[in-house]
Structure 1
Amino acid sequence: MSEISYPKVQFVEVQPEEAGQRIDNFLVKKLKGVPKSRIYKMLRKGEVRINKGRVKAEYKIVEGDSVRIPPVRVSESKTDVPTGLNKVQNLEKAIIYEDERVIVLNKPHGMAVHGGSGMSYGVIEALRALRPKAPYLELVHRLDRDTSGCLLIAKKRSALRYLHQQLQKKTMTKRYWALVNGLWSEKLKQVDAPLAKNQVKSGERLVRVTEEGKASLTSFRVIEKFNNFSLVSAEPITGRTHQIRVHAQYVGHGLVGDPKYGVDQINQSLKSNKLSERLFLHAYSLKFKIQVDAKPITVEAPLPKELEKTLTYLRAGKAIG
């Protein structure tokens, strides 16, 4: 067990190429090896100051900001990414688009996008381990651990900044396939309901619709209907945690295989019918630009076999639940 030490207070001025990123991500780079949990604790306690004021983890730094970073000393228990594991090696095979600026990965279900919350590593740490000579690899956005599909990764800081601008301006298009309980009405094309995160006693994070929440908007389109299920295409206009899942539940159509917001009876019957019990949510399409004067790029990720099997089962007129 070794020790990571930054013994003195640091005052750092944000440079032009660093502007636009969240303060927590900025600190992760400046305090290499310090766990994210320690960084978040520093922010919560007000040990980190920007222009002499306290900020939250989601604050986006601006060129010229003066960042006070406190002394920090932590024990290092290094966990190397096991690059020999199939699930790690298969990430290279899961790349469905790559150029000099970005990577689009068809993220497998069950793998977190980054380490934390009990996970020693995620997709981004594994990819960095597989490509040790890559100078820069950063997540552009996130997918839930239980969601599969298109995940965008920047290979340059300039690309990350421009892609984040598209997310902020809502000019990047992300579409998901979701299988929901019940027959979705073709007339229900949008769900506009504010969302807020809520911590329950067990520490589990849940999201709920409440007037005090943040504005949240999702577009839905019916693709196919079955006996008592619907395959829909969902496009989140805003980017809230669990947005598609909670909006679908809010209008009475919980996602199949969703342990938090779905219907327990249906989830339990998946196993008895020898179908995949995973969340039926897949990011199948991503449309973005890599630079201002470039044509938009559209990348699509095929539906995983275990989810395709569920659709085949329903198309045969069989029932779940």
Structure 2
Amino acid sequence: MKYRLELNSDVLEKFAGESLIDSLTRRFTYQNREFWLGKIASGQVRVNDLVSRPDHALVVGEVVQFAIDDFNEPDLDTSYQKIWENENLIMVSKPANLPVHSNRRFYYQTMTAILRRDEKLPDLNPMHRLDRETSGLMLYLKKPFASRSLRREPGRIIGAKFYLVLVNGEFEHESLIVDEPLREAACPPVYYLMVVAPDGRPART
């Protein structure tokens, strides 16, 4: 699907005083300095909705805006199911291959963005996350005040998480605890694939 993508970034105190071009180059390293200079010159990068200069000194409270015409997202399966809800929470079943949060390729087609639009709840946020490739149940907080109170004690709501895993062959154990360090694979077939590695972080599954 193609659409006009508009991204906004608030200028925080730690960015104040930086030039617009230096800030863009340092923070958004997936493009080089020449790319950002071209976008500023064409008016695609603005400050407070006004055309700006590369040497503009950023001020706390300003908003840097970047617009991409005809942004193209690959079509995804967005057919989620609402399982349950009350005044504070919504439980949904997320399909596989649908990201929870926005990333460099997907902004409109994410579980969070879709649910915010469908429920007309711009402050809705997930209590936890699932990898893009993983399908399963997710809990969302509907209100900011609920987010603050429930996030302090997520165990009140989520006592444990269970995953169903498909394996090749026959699994030899009725149950098994894996106590090995994990890190991201160097060249994973899917995003954020974790592998056992001596230099990984401690993990127990």
Interval of TM-score (by shorter of Structure 1 and Structure 2): 0.5 to 0.7
Secondary structure of 1:196's aligned partner = strand
Provide closer, same or farther for how the CA distance between residues 206 and 77 of structure 1 changes in structure 2, counting only shifts above 3 A: same
Residue of structure 2 equivalent to 1:73 = 64
Q: Spell out, residue by residue over 1:94-142, the C-alpha distance to the aligned partner (whole angstroms, 9 max, x if none).
A: 110101111110111221112213123201111112233x252011211
Which aligned pairs between 1:85-100 and structure 2 lie closer than 5 A?
88=78, 90-91=79-80, 94-100=81-87
Residue of structure 2 equivalent to 1:208 = 195
Provide closer, same or farther for how the CA distance between residues 42 and 172 of structure 1 changes in structure 2, counting only shifts above 3 A: farther
Residue of structure 2 equivalent to 1:128 = 116
Secondary structure of 1:192's aligned partner = coil
What stretches of structure 2 of length at least 5 have no aligned partner? Answer: 15-23, 30-58
Query: How many residues align structurally?
Result: 161
TM-score (norm 2): 0.58
Residue of structure 1 equivalent to 2:51 = none
Which aligned pairs between 1:232-243 and structure 2 lie closer than 5 A?
none
Residue of structure 2 equivalent to 1:172 = 159
Residue of structure 2 equivalent to 1:41 = 27
Residue of structure 2 equivalent to 1:149 = 136
Provide closer, same or farther for how the CA distance between residues 201 and 72 of structure 1 changes in structure 2, counting only shifts above 3 A: farther
Which aligned pairs between 1:211-222 and structure 2 lie closer than 5 A?
211-218=198-205
Identity across the alignment (%): 28
Provide closer, same or farther for how the CA distance between residues 203 and 151 of structure 1 changes in structure 2, counting only shifts above 3 A: closer
Q: CA RMSD in A?
A: 4.4
Per-residue deviation, 1:215: 1.7
Secondary structure of 1:178's aligned partner = coil
What stretches of structure 1 of length at least 5 have no aligned partner? Answer: 13-37, 44-67, 219-321
Provide closer, same or farther for how the CA distance between residues 198 and 69 of structure 1 changes in structure 2, counting only shifts above 3 A: farther
Provide closer, same or farther for how the CA distance between residues 167 and 2 of structure 1 changes in structure 2, counting only shifts above 3 A: closer
TM-score (norm 1): 0.40
Conservation of the 8 A alpha-carbon contact between 2:182 and 2:196: yes
Whether 1:185 aligns to 2:176 is no
Conservation of the 8 A alpha-carbon contact between 1:140 and 1:153: yes
Conservation of the 8 A alpha-carbon contact between 2:125 and 2:141: yes
Per-residue deviation, 1:212: 2.5
Provide closer, same or farther for how the CA distance between residues 174 and 205 of structure 1 changes in structure 2, counting only shifts above 3 A: closer
Structure 1 or 2: more strand by fraction? 1
Secondary structure of 2:115's aligned partner = helix
Provide closer, same or farther for how the CA distance between residues 174 and 185 of structure 1 changes in structure 2, counting only shifts above 3 A: same
